[in-house]
Structure 1
Amino acid sequence: MKVENGIYMLEISANIMERESVIYPTVIWDKDSLLLIDTGFPGQFQEISNVFEKEGIPFNKLEAIILTHQDIDHIGSCASILKEISGEVEVLAHEEEKEYINGEKTPIKLAQLREKLDYLPDNLKMFYEKLKIGFEASRVDVDKTLVDGQELPYCGGITVVYTPGHTPGHICLYFQQWKLLIAGDILNVEDGILNKTKEDINFNNELNIKSIEKLMKYDIETVICYHGGLYKGDVKKRLGELVKGL
């Protein structure tokens, strides 16, 4: 789905613990560059490739992948994409996420499950084992690390917004030209309403609220959420409500 000139929101079906869902990676495509923001779960290379083809986007021209954070549904197919595309594709992520993505540190969600492993029901123990295998297969090197406020020279300019809380190095991407935010997992859309991510899957909820408050400094009219898709409305007002717990 074309959201703005050069910005496409992809719709990818996913199955999480026997529950059907949809994720929304984003493609940035202009005359000079082609980028993918987040890469789905492990094993979704073909689905992503098919959606590129459906949208008329040349998958083999991909130049860079930006990972908003370390979670398996965001990094999962990155290694497969790098393997399948013949040209050099750079991987970018925040400096705080690098060692989780390349496997030097245990990913946060996996470590949290491991700490509780003796007390988990059998279905979650099985989920832990699958997640562990998934992360091991999804390790990739981060070629360039990003910092807060960095301006990326793509599609008229992209501002990196450091928004820790969901994970230590979570980022959003802001396009001033279109007043558009790619929100990663700091926000989601449920039944047409913009919400914050559930507290029980955040690394640090206090940091997460501060990061949502930080987003209020930006003039945002459109939000692309990885879970829930597109949101248009009075974004600043809604962010203020979320900060207040409404």
Structure 2
Amino acid sequence: MRVTKGVEILELEAEGFGGRAVLHPTLIWDDKEAILIDTGMPGQYEKIISAMSGLGMSLDKLKAVILTHQDIDHIGSVPEIIQATKGRIQVFAHELDKPYIEGEIPLIKTNPRSMAKILESLPEDQYRKTLALCENPPKAKIDDTLSDGQEIPYCGGIKVLFTPGHTPGHISLYLKNSKTLVAADAMICVEGNLRGPVEQTTLDMDTALRSLEKFLEYDVEFVVCYHGGLCNMNAKGQIQDIIRKITNVIETD
């Protein structure tokens, strides 16, 4: 799904944890390089490469992967990408999620203990697969950690926005050339309409809601949500409406 020149939303159908979903990594590129933001579930490497090929782009052009946070549906295929590129790409993430992605600490949401209730509800074949994934999640070495306000010098400039709450080290990204906000899981999109963070999958809802205010600092024409895809209808206005509603609820309480 084309956002604007040099920005493409990938659509990866995924199955896991007893359900199905469509995930939306973002590929950005210019004449010199390509950058992938998030990598889907484990085993989706071929789909990512196929999508790049469909855009006339070889894997050789990929220079970096930016992981917005530690969740398994975002880091899933990065080990395969690293292996296929013989480790020549840079992998970025925020410092607070780095130890989880590197495997020093179990993933917060996807480990046998945190997934116990879901595991109990699964049929036997799905139980075995999911348990194996929880016990041996994807891991990747983070080459560079990112901080709030940092600008990554690829494709005209990628601004890092530290938006914790969904996870401790969750980040969103602002693509300067196209005025595109890659919100990751800070928001979701439903039929082009923005919604705030999903409470069931957000570790610290209060912090996640406060993080949204950071988006108001930027001239946003397009928003890409990992769950729901593209919002291109009055994106800045929709963000303002979400924050206004949140503020009213807080003041009422």
The match for 1:27 is: 27
The match for 1:133 is: 132
Q: Distance in 2 between matches of 1:18 and 1:121?
A: 9
* Deviations 1:192-239 (CA, angstroms, capped at 9, x unpaired): 211122111101001000111221221111001111111012233322
The match for 1:123 is: 121
Over 3 Å counting, the alpha-carbon distance change for 1:125 and 1:75 in structure 2 is farther
Q: Distance in 2 between matches of 1:120 and 1:172?
A: 28
Conservation of the 8 A alpha-carbon contact between 1:110 and 1:128: no
Which of structure 1's runs of 4+ aligned residues deviate more than 6 A?
A: 125-129
The match for 1:13 is: 13
The match for 1:114 is: 113
The match for 1:213 is: 213
Name whichever of 202-211 and 186-195 sits farther off.
186-195
Conservation of the 8 A alpha-carbon contact between 1:110 and 1:132: no
- Aligned-partner SS, 1:108: coil
Name whichever of 18-27 and 140-149 sits farther off.
18-27
Conservation of the 8 A alpha-carbon contact between 1:110 and 1:131: no
Q: Counterparts in 2 of 1:68-107, with a 5 A limit?
A: 68-86=68-86, 88-107=88-107
In the TM superposition, residue 156 of structure 1 has moved relative to its aligned partner by 1.0
- Aligned-partner SS, 1:224: strand
Q: Please tell me the residue identity of whatever aligns with 2:162.
A: Y
Q: Please tell me the residue identity of whatever aligns with 1:76.
A: G
Conservation of the 8 A alpha-carbon contact between 1:60 and 1:86: no
* Deviations 1:74-120 (CA, angstroms, capped at 9, x unpaired): 00000011112246011100111100100111211035x61573x66
Over 3 Å counting, the alpha-carbon distance change for 1:128 and 1:205 in structure 2 is farther
The match for 2:43 is: 43
In the TM superposition, residue 64 of structure 1 has moved relative to its aligned partner by 0.7
Q: Please tell me the residue identity of whatever aligns with 2:94.
A: H
Indicate the percent of aligned positions where both proteins have the same amino acid.
41
With structure 1 as the length reference, what TM-score do the two structures score? 0.90
Over 3 Å counting, the alpha-carbon distance change for 1:116 and 1:228 in structure 2 is closer
- Aligned-partner SS, 2:212: helix
Name whichever of 66-75 and 46-55 sits farther off.
46-55
Conservation of the 8 A alpha-carbon contact between 1:165 and 1:204: yes
Q: Please tell me the residue identity of whatever aligns with 2:74.
A: H
Q: Please tell me the residue identity of whatever aligns with 1:182.
A: V
Q: Distance in 2 between matches of 1:152 and 1:192?
A: 28
State the aligned residue count.
244
Q: Please tell me the residue identity of whatever aligns with 1:167.
A: T
Q: Distance in 1 between matches of 2:114 and 2:49?
A: 36
In the TM superposition, residue 26 of structure 1 has moved relative to its aligned partner by 0.8
Q: Distance in 1 between matches of 2:35 and 2:119?
A: 40
Name whichever of 46-55 and 83-92 sits farther off.
83-92
The alignment yields a C-alpha RMSD, in angstroms, of 2.3
Conservation of the 8 A alpha-carbon contact between 1:72 and 1:134: no
Q: Distance in 1 between matches of 2:228 and 2:118?
A: 29
- Aligned-partner SS, 1:114: coil
* Deviations 1:16-67 (CA, angstroms, capped at 9, x unpaired): 3453321111111112321111000001111111111112121232111000
With structure 2 as the length reference, what TM-score do the two structures score? 0.88
Q: Please tell me the residue identity of whatever aligns with 2:176.
A: Q
